[in-house]
Amino acid sequence: MTEPSPVRRRRGRGARERILETATELFTAQGINATGMEQLTTTAGVSKRTLYLHFAGKDDLVHAYLQQLGDGLLPPEISPDLTASDARDQLLAVFEWSPKDPSVPLRGCPFLNASVEVPDPDHPVHRLAAAHKTEFARRLTGLARQAGARDPEALGEQLALVHDGAVARSTALNNADAGRCARALAVQLVDAATA
Amino acid sequence: MTEPSPVRRRRGRGARERILETATELFTAQGINATGMEQLTTTAGVSKRTLYLHFAGKDDLVHAYLQQLGDGLLPPEISPDLTASDARDQLLAVFEWSPKDPSVPLRGCPFLNASVEVPDPDHPVHRLAAAHKTEFARRLTGLARQAGARDPEALGEQLALVHDGAVARSTALNNADAGRCARALAVQLVDAATA
């Protein structure tokens, strides 16, 4: 084996990103189990050999696909100087679906979806999904505390429940009704918990 | 073609039931897309020919599997003489997981799961899942009206959201925490809406 040239290394990085982008598109549109390695390599324009150079197998690819999405789907970590009012805004921002991309809640949560498609609780993909949903509630609890909630754990768990309910119902119903209902309910719960 | 004998008809019904039972077990444990027709026929102890005699294909089998479960997963229809107190009990009963089978919420909602596994909104299976989740909220709205809620539509939608959030989070987290949180939140919402 010779040392890879800069060009080859650049190409290598490009392939990994292209595979992850393609996986994100296909897993989102079709689901994880309905997407085969054949279709992934063809759509990404890479050989099977290249795919297995970057990922040990499909499980590894699904894991990497979820990991790259993780941070972007979590509420922000609290900073010590966050005002109660800003914390309240950040709690409610979780229920604002981007007006630029109104279809986002309809496509569902990739972590909830993965936990349905990979039901074995000991599977690394299912465990990653569980860890994400735990962290999601933990961050909401942090914001709830900063917002002055009397019982931040309870409010954090409630808001996580309402959020995931909206995502699950939007996935099933293909409309934004549940998202609107969740936003109104979140305001009601935050107001009651901090009044 | 001769008229089927009573024995053959009985056998035929037995096979259909056995296939549906097997499908329910395997779809619940593994998911829809991870379950192949090969495994279904082997586990049910029927030939491929027998399976295709009863079901036009896998989509048809998934549809039938969901249809047989549907009524059992819905809150009761209201009767005109239902008292407000009974209606309240029936609303909250939706959040009581059976103590005989505490794993039920952990296995998730077959309709939410199907909508994840069959993401195409125009697919008959996805449409059946959407219809079920709409009917679920409609029945809660009926009970909310009978329980004396000021805005029964809002309460019905909220409770459907909380229920489905608990189911989705239980599926991801493999524990009953979300179920307990949902039950407490449901009491709070029903009390606030009927006070």
With beta carbons less than 8 A apart as the criterion, state whether A43 and A30 touch: no
CATH of B6-58, picked from 3.30.365.10, 1.10.15.40, 3.90.650.10, 1.10.10.60, is: 1.10.10.60
Distance, CA of B144 to CA of B155 (rounded, Å): 7
B185/A158 CB distance under 8 A:
yes
- Six-digit token string for A13: 């990085």
Distance, CA of A138 to CA of B54 (rounded, Å): 49
With beta carbons less than 8 A apart as the criterion, state whether B31 and B113 touch: yes
* Residue A101: band (very low, low, confident or very high) from pLDDT cuts 50, 70, 90: low
Give B116→chain A minimum CA distance, Å.
Answer: 6
Distance, CA of A126 to CA of A112 (rounded, Å): 9
With beta carbons less than 8 A apart as the criterion, state whether B131 and B73 touch: no
Q: Residue B108: what pLDDT?
A: 87
The residue behind tokens 């935050």 is A190
Q: Residue A108: what pLDDT?
A: 87
- Six-digit token string for B118: 């069959």
B161/A157 CB distance under 8 A:
no
Amino acid B39 reads Q
- Identify which of B29, B119, B184 has the shortest CB distance to residue A29: B119
Q: Residue B102: what pLDDT?
A: 53
Task: Tell me which chain A residues have a C-beta less than 8 angstroms from the C-beta of B162.
Answer: 161-162, 165
Distance, CA of A139 to CA of B3 (rounded, Å): 67
- Identify which of B121, B130, B164 has the shortest CB distance to residue A168: B164
**Hey, which bits of A124-179 come out as E strands?**
none
- Provide the CATH topology of domain A6-62: Arc Repressor Mutant, subunit A (1.10.10)
Task: Tell me which chain B residues have a C-beta less than 8 angstroms from the C-beta of A192.
Answer: 192
A169/B161 CB distance under 8 A:
yes
Domain residue extents for chain A: 6-62, 74-194
- Identify which of B121, B126, B168 has the shortest CB distance to residue A164: B168
Closest residue, chain A, to B173 (C-alpha): A130
With beta carbons less than 8 A apart as the criterion, state whether A83 and A38 touch: no
Distance, CA of B38 to CA of B102 (rounded, Å): 31
Q: Residue B12: what pLDDT?
A: 52
Q: Quick one: A57 exposed, middle or buried, by C-beta within 10 A (0-12, 13-18, 19+)?
A: exposed
Give B99→chain A minimum CA distance, Å.
Answer: 21
Q: Which of B28, B39, B116 to mutate to test the interface with A (most CBs of A within 10 A)?
A: B116
Q: Which of A133, A140, A171, A177 to mutate to test the interface with B (most CBs of B within 10 A)?
A: A171
CATH of domain A74-194: 1.10.357.10
Nearest to A170 by CA among B88, B137, B106: B137
Per-residue CA distances from B18 to B40, B42, B60, B100 (Å): 10, 11, 15, 24
Closest residue, chain B, to A157 (C-alpha): B181
With beta carbons less than 8 A apart as the criterion, state whether B193 and B149 touch: yes
With beta carbons less than 8 A apart as the criterion, state whether B166 and B128 touch: no
- Identify which of B129, B157, B168 has the shortest CB distance to residue A112: B168
pLDDT tens string, chain B, 195 residues long: the values are 444 444 444 455 599 999 999 999 999 999 999 999 999 999 999 999 999 999 999 999 999 999 999 889 999 999 889 999 999 999 999 998 765 555 555 578 999 999 999 999 999 999 999 999 999 999 999 999 999 999 999 999 999 999 999 999 999 998 888 999 999 999 999 999 999
Task: Tell me which chain B residues have a C-beta less than 8 angstroms from the C-beta of A126.
Answer: 172, 174
Helices then strands, counting H and E runs in chain B, come out as: 10, 0
CB pairs under 8 A between A and B: 125
